[in-house]
Every structure is written in C-alpha cells, then in structure tokens.
Structure 1
Amino acid sequence: MIVERMHVPVGLVDDTAVWPYDVPAVAALLGEGIALEAPVTFLVGENGSGKSTLVEAFAEAWGADVRGGTSGRRYSSELERSTLGSTMRLDRTRLGARMVGERAAGYFLRSETALDMFTRYEKASPAYLEVSHGESYLEAFDSHFHEKGLYILDEPEAALSFTACLRLIGTLADVVEAGGQVLCATHSPVLTSMPGASILELGDHGVRRVDWADLELVRHWRAFLDEPGRYLRHL
C-alpha cells in the first residue's frame, strides 16, 4: 500500500455547509476520513455523488498534475488546485512517503482533460496515431501502468468496450503485482468485479463499503438486462 487514508482536518475548513463540504461523501472526509483497505479501491455512485470531486482532489493531494498524466511531471499550469485538493491530506505508508516530487510514481487519468492529454501523447509517440479513442486509452494504460506507483482514474470505462474493460482489470492486476495502488471512480459493474478490490459506494448516506453483488449499479444492470422494458416504459 502507498496511501492508507484520505482525510480533511476539520481546522482547515471554515464552513462545512458550503460546497464541496456539503456533499455527503466529501463530508465523510472530515476528521478521521476514509480508510483505503486494499490495493485497488473503486468509488461508485450516481452522478453528483462526489466521485470525481474526491478522485481529483486525491490526485492533487498526491501531487499529480491537475490536468492528468504521469505523476511527477508538469504539463500545464493553467488549472489551479481545487478547494478540496488544497485541504485533503493523505496518510502515506513508508513506501508512499518516499514517493514525492519527481519520485511520485504513478498516473492520473482525468476524464475532462483526457483528450488534451492524448493529443500530447500523439505528438510525442507514433503509437497513438490513427487509433480510436478507446484504443488511445488502452495505449496509455499499456505504456504508463507498468511500475510501482499510485494510479488514479476517473471513469476510465467511458471509452472502453466490454472486452477492453476486462483487459483493464488485467492491467490493474499487474499494477498490484508490481506493488502499486489504484483509486478509481467508475460506473462500471465490470471493473468493480475485480477480485480483491474494495468498493466504496457514495450517496446521500455518505460513504459505505459494499460488496460487489450488493451494489445498486449491479442490481440495476441485472434487472435491466433481464427485462429492459421495466425501465424503458418510464421514459
């Protein structure tokens, strides 16, 4: 493990009734915060539950470029750190404490800036030319997910097919085997099925640890695939 807990010291927040601290999942960071108990942790929840907010702040607290990319490198100074990113603290293991600055190995895939990031890659490597959006994601994973480090992903399944999601699970397993750690926000029932992963479900309740079979998104997908009309008739 590299990071054991993410939290926000109460003394750093002037008003917990304003965004983002009024989001239940973000409020769960105050004080003791949220423990990370496995090498791979998935954050799941509906849109607006705070998944991306937590993931991006986590990346900022780790020291990653706010636009995304390889940890320890800076591609742009155009984006300022978020309010939550400025207050979040990470409890690092002995290994994590050694990963600072240029030694902060890992990768941050930020959904909003992924296209810009892949454009940078295309200029630097012919491997990214003439491939689909999903293939560029896989090329990034194959090229950058190969060392002991912290890998932070925001909805990587957005451009991936079913089989590509399965391939990503294999890549994440390789990261774990190398001694790395993963924090991933996702809507994918495929990714969250990864053996040994910890799943945190975000919602009005805040944050709770849930088994894959008990996830709301899994129950909905099962019900939808069994009988789509049960959902479509309400549209």
Structure 2
Amino acid sequence: MIVERAYAHVTEGEASGGRWPWSMPCVRQLLEEGLTFSAPVTFLVGENGSGKSTLVEALAEGFGLDSWGGSAGYKYASAREPSELGARVRFEATAAGRRMLRGSRTRRRGFFLRAETALDALGREQTTGRLSGAVDEMSHGEGFLMAFRERFEGPGLYVMDEPEAALSFSSCLQLVGLLHHLGRSGAQIICATHSPVLTALPGAEIIEVGDHGMRPAEWRDLELVYHWRRYLNDPWAYLRHIVEAE
C-alpha cells in the first residue's frame, strides 16, 4: 500500500455558511475524522451527488496526480488548478508512500482516470509515447483497457472515477483481474464506482458514501447490489412505475 489515511483541514470561516464542498457529509467527515484505508483496493460507492467523485478527485490531486486525468508529475499534466479540497488533502503514508510524497512530483507513481475526461488524458499520454496505440483509432472501452494494461503497473497510487462507464461486462471482469494483480504487487487503488461487478473483488474494502457521510459496507449489503439483482430477476418490478407513469 501507499497511503494509510487521508485527511484535510480548513478554518471555521472557510467551512461555515454551508458552502460546497464543505457542506457535503462525506467531506465534513473527512475534515473531522479523516479516511482510513485498510486494503490495497478501496471502492467508494453511492448515489449520484453523494460526493464520491469529489472525494476521489481530491485524493488524486492531493497525491500530485493530474486532476484532469493522467500520470503523476506536472510535466505531462493539464494546466487545471487543484480544487479547494484537493489543495488541502494530506496523507499518512507507508514507507513507500513517504518516499514518493517527500520527493519531487515526478517521483510519484500512479494514474488518475476519470470517465468524463479520459480520452483527453489518454491522448496526452499518447503524445508522450506512454501508450502503444492510438486512442482515436479505437473504441472508448478499448482505450480504457489499453490504459489499464500499460499505465497501471508497479507500486503507485491509482485513482479511478467510474471506470466502468466505457466497459462491457467482460471488460469489467478484465479490470477486476488487473486490480487484483495490482493490489498484490504493492500498488494501491481507490475507485469510485456504481458497478456490482468491480465491487465484488475479493478482499477489497468498500466504503458507502451518502447523507450519513462514509461508512464501511459489505458487498452483499450494498443497495446497488440489491437493486441490480432485483432488476435482473424482474425488470418489470421497476419499469412498470416508469412506463405506466407515462
């Protein structure tokens, strides 16, 4: 593993008035308690708007990963400034993590892949010769898998925001295999996702994000697993409320 705990501090004046992102329950909990990581692979799950994407972006920024997506270090990064939260994130790290954090940003190893900006980030990686294929000559999902195979390797911090957005079921299974291998090799992965396929990875830590803040959860108890299982068993139990309403 690379980091054991993430935390952030702001003044009372900055956090007052219900201003975003300090008003989000998960961010308030990060400020008050921090976020502890107990496994090489951590999944953040929750509804849209729960704050999981805000968290993973801030964690990536705090580690020095390109906030627009891409590798560690500024040489190949976009010009985007870190978010208010990302600029304040700090880590309690393992020995390997401390070596990266105490050195120059180019010594940090990792990658941030966010679904919305992945093609732009991968295009920049391609121009530096860090990818073997041309992103604009393959499908969105193929580009994601190429990045996973070629840029997710070795000890480092790998942060992902909804990587399943471009992946088929079989491609999600390939990603599960890669995450398992990465976690065993000394790397650390933090992933925001809606996927019951990814979150089923054995040994992974799952943190449920919502109005309650953040809390550990078991895969079988996740609301997303319950609803997917029920929907696949009987789609009409859900669709009748939508179709009949129209």
TM-score for the superposition, normalised by structure 2: 0.90
- 2:2 is aligned to 2
Instruction: Note the residue ranges of structure 2 that are not aligned, 5 or more in a row.
Output: none
1:128 to 130, 134, 145: 134
Which sits farther off after the overlay, 92-101 or 118-127?
118-127
Does the Cα contact within 8 Å between 2:71 and 2:77 map onto a contact in 1? no
Does the Cα contact within 8 Å between 1:43 and 1:202 map onto a contact in 2? yes
1:53-202 counterparts in 2 under 5 A? 53-100=54-101, 101-123=105-127, 124=129, 125=131, 127-129=133-135, 130-202=137-209
Instruction: Note the residue ranges of structure 1 that are not aligned, 5 or more in a row.
Output: none
Which sits farther off after the overlay, 61-70 or 114-123?
114-123
How far did residue 111 of structure 1 move? 2.2
Query: What secondary structure does 1:170 align onto?
Result: helix
Does the Cα contact within 8 Å between 1:128 and 1:139 map onto a contact in 2? no
How far did residue 121 of structure 1 move? 4.1
Identity in percent: 53
Does the Cα contact within 8 Å between 2:21 and 2:27 map onto a contact in 1? yes
Does the Cα contact within 8 Å between 2:15 and 2:23 map onto a contact in 1? no
Does the Cα contact within 8 Å between 2:76 and 2:125 map onto a contact in 1? no
Query: What secondary structure does 1:146 align onto?
Result: coil
How far did residue 77 of structure 1 move? 4.5
Query: What secondary structure does 2:149 align onto?
Result: helix
Which sits farther off after the overlay, 57-66 or 71-80?
71-80
Which sits farther off after the overlay, 99-108 or 154-163?
99-108
- 1:22 is aligned to 23
Change beyond 3 A, Cα 1:107–1:12 = farther
Query: What secondary structure does 2:96 align onto?
Result: helix
Does the Cα contact within 8 Å between 2:70 and 2:122 map onto a contact in 1? no
> What's the CA shift string for 1:163-201, capped at 9, x where partnerless?
101100111111112100000000000000000000000
> What is the CA RMSD across the aligned residues, in angstroms?
1.6
Query: What secondary structure does 1:179 align onto?
Result: coil
AA aligned to 1:146 is E
AA aligned to 1:160 is L
AA aligned to 2:149 is D
How far did residue 7 of structure 1 move? 1.3
Name the CA distance, whole Å, in 1 between partners of 2:53 and 2:207.
Answer: 13
AA aligned to 2:124 is R
Does the Cα contact within 8 Å between 1:20 and 1:26 map onto a contact in 2? yes
- 1:219 is aligned to 226
TM-score for the superposition, normalised by structure 1: 0.94
Aligned length: 235
Query: What secondary structure does 1:29 align onto?
Result: helix
Which sits farther off after the overlay, 111-120 or 140-149?
111-120
Name the CA distance, whole Å, in 1 between partners of 2:77 and 2:11.
Answer: 31
